[in-house]
Amino acid sequence: MTLIPVAVQIPVLIVREISPLESAVLSRRSFLRGRIRTVAPVQRPPWALDEVAFIERCTRCDACIQACPTAILVPAEGGYPTVDFSRGECTFCGECVSRCEPAALRRDALADEAWPIRARIGETCLAANGVECRVCGENCPTNAIRFRPRVGGAALPALSLASCNGCGACFAPCPVRAIEVKAGELGIGTMETGTQDMATKENT
Ligand code: SF4
Ligand code: SF4
Ligand code: SF4
């Protein structure tokens, strides 16, 4: 018996490589979707545009990271630069801004202020817990942290929010990592004309 050939239609999967530009757009979209779902805010370099505009513009070229003389800029999620104060402080030299060709960092974006973040002294502060320590104050270039002597106990730090510029110099030296540098939150104690006064902790 002769076999009669039967036409069989085999589905064809057309695969093409995506261009680097398409890849960048896709990964940017995925990153933005991921951020909307999950990610806590990260600290971008000084004079960064707001987060959405920053992600739109930043090409992840690493020029700011290479330029930073204190090496506090590191690539974070998605390869975008972020600040790591455990590595040092920002001197506000502006090198990162001047190297950012896409202008994701722009010195006129927030007028004179590099960012809205400020130091926040937390509950684990040694001095607040009766142990003599003035390390943060000794490392603060703007004298924003001063210590008030008290009878029968360790001197307590008082942080002037008006003098703090969020440089992060107090973060790494703190032996118990009691300091955070962030926007929108105050440490323990109360605000008194720009001063976060740890002495009030005893009364709360
Ligand atoms: S302003 Fe200077 S020290 Fe601060 S992050 Fe930019 S390059 Fe680094
Ligand atoms: S220099 Fe500008 S574009 Fe390049 S990684 Fe830094 S912020 Fe992004
Ligand atoms: S962030 Fe900088 S200016 Fe502010 S208290 Fe710490 S060392 Fe001082």
Where residue 92 sits, what CATH number does that domain have? Answer: 3.30.70
pLDDT of 184 above 60: yes
CA of 118 to the centre of ligand 3 (A): 7
84 and 123 housed in the same domain: no
- Domain tally, the chain: 2
Q: Give pLDDT, residue 40.
A: 58
8 A C-beta contact, residue 172 and residue 180: no
71 lines ligand 1 (CB under 6 A): no
123 and 198 housed in the same domain: yes
Q: What are the backbone dihedrals phi and psi of residue 154, each rounded to the nearest 5 degrees, phi first?
A: -70, 145
Confidence band for 153, pLDDT divided at 50, 70 and 90? confident
199 and 131 housed in the same domain: yes
For the ranges 7-11, 61-65, 175-179, which has the lowest average pLDDT? 7-11
Sign of the alpha-carbon dihedral angle for 103, 106, 109, 115: positive
For the ranges 48-57, 105-114, 154-163, 172-181, which has the lowest average pLDDT? 105-114
CA of 171 to the centre of ligand 3 (A): 8
Residue 120 is given by DSSP the state E
167 and 122 housed in the same domain: yes
- CA nearest to 52, candidates 74, 28, 20, 22: 28
How far apart CA 63 and CA 12 sit, in angstroms, is 44
Q: Give pLDDT, residue 112.
A: 74
8 A C-beta contact, residue 60 and residue 75: yes
Q: What are the backbone dihedrals phi and psi of residue 182, each rounded to the nearest 5 degrees, phi first?
A: -155, 170
Confidence band for 188, pLDDT divided at 50, 70 and 90? low
Average pLDDT rounded to a whole number, residues 21-50 = 63
Both structure tokens of 166: 């969020």
The ligand 3 atom at the shortest distance from the C-alpha of residue 139 is 7
67 lines ligand 1 (CB under 6 A): yes
Both structure tokens of 3: 């076999």
Residue 127 is given by DSSP the state G
Confidence band for 76, pLDDT divided at 50, 70 and 90? very high
Write out the H or E segment, with its range, that includes residue 196. strand 195-197
**Which residue has the least CA distance to atom 7 on ligand 1?**
68
At 148 the three-state DSSP class reads strand
pLDDT of 47 above 80: yes
Write out the H or E segment, with its range, that includes residue 164. none
Q: Is residue 129 part of a domain?
A: yes
58 lines ligand 2 (CB under 6 A): yes
Q: Give pLDDT, residue 108.
A: 77
Q: Is residue 1 part of a domain?
A: no
Counting other chains too, the contacts that 130-136 makes at CB distance below 8 Å and 24 or more residues apart are: 130/154, 133/175, 135/170, 135/173, 135/174, 135/175, 136/170, 136/173, 136/174, 136/179
CATH number at residue 193: 3.30.70.3270
pLDDT of 194 above 90: no
> Which residue, 38, 71, 99, sits at the end of a domain?
99
What residue spans of the chain are helical by DSSP H? 20-37, 51-57, 63-67, 95-99, 135-139
Nearest ligand to the C-alpha of residue 95? 1
Average pLDDT rounded to a whole number, residues 80-107 = 97
Q: Give pLDDT, residue 95.
A: 97
Domain that holds residue 89: 25-99
Q: How far is CA 148 from the centre of its chain?
A: 30
Q: Which residue has the higher pLDDT, 55 or 14?
A: 55
